[in-house]
Chain A
Amino acid sequence: MIFAIQINSSPYQSNAGYSAYQFISAALGQHHEIFRVFFYSDGVYHAFKYAMPPEDEFGLTRQWSELAKQYKLDLVVCISAAQKRGLLCSDEAKRQNKTDDDLAEGFRISGLGQLVEATLVSDRFIVFG
């Protein structure tokens, strides 16, 4: 089955992001396809490269990057939600005359059309948070 996933809450706001991570890991482990994970609203906080949780805490951003690498997951961050919250990739920062490079490895920034496309091509669409 093909899944599209949307995540709306930040890593420390609720456990929705972690639930999504567990769901996606389990689905991939059972050979389902995750067409795309779309980070929207406060969900964009999952993609901040410089989030530095203490060593004894689960670092969700790093886990996303590893999962993306392992399964070639498409992790997309909404550009308008990201800019509003100060998350700029290096390309976007240059366009805005800024020097940021905030996007963690394995994520990419794009528009809401990517979310609609994901819901169109997937069998199931699940929103977390």
Chain B
Amino acid sequence: MDMKSYLFVLRKPAHSGSYVQELLDIIMTTAAFDQHVTMLLLDDAVFHLKIGQSPQKVAMKDTAAIYKALELYDVTEIYTEEDSLIERGLMLSDLCLPIKSINRTRIASFMKRFDVVFST
């Protein structure tokens, strides 16, 4: 089968409806099809990986745990954007996975590298 490079852009916070969980399902399916998958967390999506969440207290699934499982699907390219972190008082060390941060001015050229961009 053909190979394409996929970028998944996530912008909403975790546990805002089923959005994150359903997008993670697409990401895992795409990776299971042996496609090259990259993720970009913008705006409130940076909270997905915040250390110290207790989603079970509000009957929600642990989305941060799903992120950790993505490695099993060879999804290791996860990026965020510097200003999204700073605007929310966060640093990379507040996140539970070692992801990379890129500058806001580079986002457009970064997106151009991919064949398919998923953003909802």
| Residues of chain B within 8 A of A121, CB atoms compared | 2
**Does B22 make an interface contact (CB < 8 A)?**
yes
| Residues of chain B within 8 A of A116, CB atoms compared | 26, 29-30, 33, 35
Chain B contacts with A in 1-44, Cβ cutoff 8 A? 1-2, 4, 6, 18-19, 22, 25-26, 29-30, 33, 35
Q: Are B33 and A113 touching (Cβ within 8 A)? A: yes
Q: Are A120 and B4 touching (Cβ within 8 A)? A: yes
Segment of B76-84, B102-110, B112-120 engaged in the interface with chain A: B112-120
- In the complex with contacts A41-B19, A81-B22, A119-B4, A129-B120 CB distance below 8 A: yes
Q: Are B29 and A113 touching (Cβ within 8 A)? A: yes
- In the complex with contacts A8-B120, A116-B30, A127-B120, A40-B22 CB distance below 8 A: yes
The chain B residue sitting closest to A9, CB to CB, is B120
Q: In the complex the two chains form, what is the Cα distance from A13 to B91 in whole Å?
A: 35
User: Contact size class for B?
Assistant: 10 to 19
The chain A residue sitting closest to B117, CB to CB, is A125
- In the complex with contacts A127-B118, A127-B120, A129-B120, A112-B26 CB distance below 8 A: yes
Q: Are B22 and A41 touching (Cβ within 8 A)? A: yes
| Residues of chain B within 8 A of A84, CB atoms compared | 18
**Does A115 make an interface contact (CB < 8 A)?**
yes
The 10 closest A-B pairs by CB, nearest first: A112-B29, A116-B33, A120-B2, A116-B30, A119-B116, A41-B22, A125-B116, A8-B120, A116-B29, A127-B120
